[in-house]
């Protein structure tokens, strides 16, 4: 699928793992990719010869893909790139960045604010640009430059099957509409156990939407819905399963979920190595990454079982960044 055809994003970004947890059956919307070839080919710059950068990532599918995209793009630009793409949690990745074990890695704005800079979830700005600017300011105090954010974000979403949306939700498409249904209190929703006590999860549904569905503690995302253990479930907005066509998103029309856009954080010392042209490469390869495009890339790994490095290469080729 050419990514030009994926230009319409659904909207929003997340802190959790995008590993396939057994949900979404059926085939991905991926397959042979003609590619838009609309981008400028990344040229190998002789000035980058001998310049080394270490790119890291956390340990789930979307992070592996993003880490590979950045690493392969910088390699194409002539940098010598080492990869450490299985660092673990955000705390481990951030520690590796601050200590110089890595020079850069992609992190979600909402995650950085709440996990590194002690911003309460409820205090994270709802506007993506404001959240990014706050994260950028806080990173700067630590000697880290947060490069401009992606347009896509990977945040919480609430999903159900299209059949259940039609029958149980009476066609409701927003959380406000669901909260007003006569059977609203009888509906069940699955989420990870901690969701019960989080303000950006069950507590937020109660306080912001005045809706208290029955909570089903479940580590799965789509399996509880598919197996009728729950009517709805907390998922992530860039899940590959959302490309299958069998699920419907119930929109968060009152901004319960904070922004989670990606920013490529670079140590200030490494930023000198990256230089202005290197930063342009990062900005360029991020531009086509809409939410729908990220869903497609994730589906190739989580559903089609392709390797992240191959999926990243496909993306760069399809978009015309590399041959």
Query: What are 314-317's contacts with CB under 8 Å, separation 24+?
Result: 314/33, 315/3, 315/65, 315/69, 316/42, 316/69, 316/72, 316/73, 316/76, 316/285, 317/33, 317/35
Model confidence at 320: pLDDT above 70:
yes
Residue indicated by tokens 């880290």? 144
Confidence of residue 176 (pLDDT cuts 50, 70, 90): very high
pTM: 0.88
Residue indicated by tokens 């490469």? 281
The pLDDT value recorded for residue 38 is: 63
CA distance 8 to 260: 18
CA distance 118 to 142: 14
Model confidence at 168: pLDDT above 50:
yes
The pLDDT value recorded for residue 10 is: 28
The stretch 264-287 carries a mean pLDDT of 98
The pLDDT value recorded for residue 157 is: 97
Pair of tokens at residue 319: 């978009």
- pLDDT mean across residues, the chain: 90
The pLDDT value recorded for residue 33 is: 38
Q: Which residues of 69-90 are buried (b: 16+ CB within 10 A; e: fewer)?
A: bbbbbbbbbbbebebbbebeeb
Show the CA angle centred on residue 250, arms to residues 244 and 255, nearest 5°.
125
Torsion of CA 281, 285, 287, 289, to 10 degrees: -160
Specify whether the CB–CB gap between 125 and 134 falls below 8 A. Answer: yes
Model confidence at 62: pLDDT above 70:
yes
Confidence of residue 39 (pLDDT cuts 50, 70, 90): confident
Domains identified in the chain and CATH numbers: 3-153+259-318 (3.40.190.10), 156-250 (3.40.190.120)
Radius of gyration of the chain (CA): 20
Q: With pLDDT > 70 as the criterion, what percentage of the chain qualifies?
A: 88
How do strand 262-267 and strand 52-56 relate by DSSP bridges?
unpaired
Residue (of 50, 51, 82, 79) closest to 68 by Cα position: 82
pLDDT, tens digit, for every residue of 217-242? 999 999 999 999 999 999 999 999 99
């Amino acid at each position: 699928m050419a990514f030009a055809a994926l230009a319409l994003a659904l909207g929003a970004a997340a802190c959790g793992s995008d590993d396939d947890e057994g949900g979404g059956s059926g085939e991905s919307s991926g397959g042979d990719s003609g590619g838009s070839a609309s981008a400028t080919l990344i040229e190998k710059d002789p000035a980058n010869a001998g310049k080394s950068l270490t790119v890291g990532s956390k340990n789930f599918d979307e992070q592996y893909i993003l880490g590979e995209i950045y690493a392969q793009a910088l390699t194409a630009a002539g940098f010598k790139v080492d990869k450490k793409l299985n660092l673990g949690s955000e705390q481990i990745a951030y520690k590796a960045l601050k200590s110089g074990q890595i020079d850069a890695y992609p992190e979600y704005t909402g995650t950085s604010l709440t996990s590194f800079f002690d911003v309460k979830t409820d205090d994270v700005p709802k506007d993506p640009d404001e959240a990014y600017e706050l994260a950028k300011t806080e990173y700067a105090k630590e000697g880290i430059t947060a490069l401009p954010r992606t347009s896509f974000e990977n945040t919480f979403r609430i999903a159900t099957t299209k059949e259940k949306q039609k029958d149980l939700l009476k066609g409701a498409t927003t959380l406000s509409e669901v909260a007003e249904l006569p059977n609203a209190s009888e509906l069940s929703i699955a989420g990870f156990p901690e969701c019960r006590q989080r303000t950006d999860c069950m507590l937020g549904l109660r306080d912001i939407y005045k809706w208290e569905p029955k909570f089903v503690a479940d580590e799965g995302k789509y399996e509880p819905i598919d197996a009728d253990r729950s009517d709805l479930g907390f998922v992530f907005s860039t899940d590959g399963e959302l490309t299958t066509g069998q699920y419907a998103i119930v929109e968060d029309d009152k901004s319960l979920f904070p922004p989670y856009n990606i920013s490529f954080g670079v140590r200030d010392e490494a930023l000198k190595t990256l230089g202005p042209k290197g930063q342009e490469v990062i900005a360029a390869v991020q531009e086509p990454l809409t939410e729908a495009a990220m869903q497609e890339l994730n589906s190739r790994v989580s559903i089609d079982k392709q390797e992240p490095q191959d999926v990243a290469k496909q993306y760069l080729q399809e978009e015309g960044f590399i041959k």
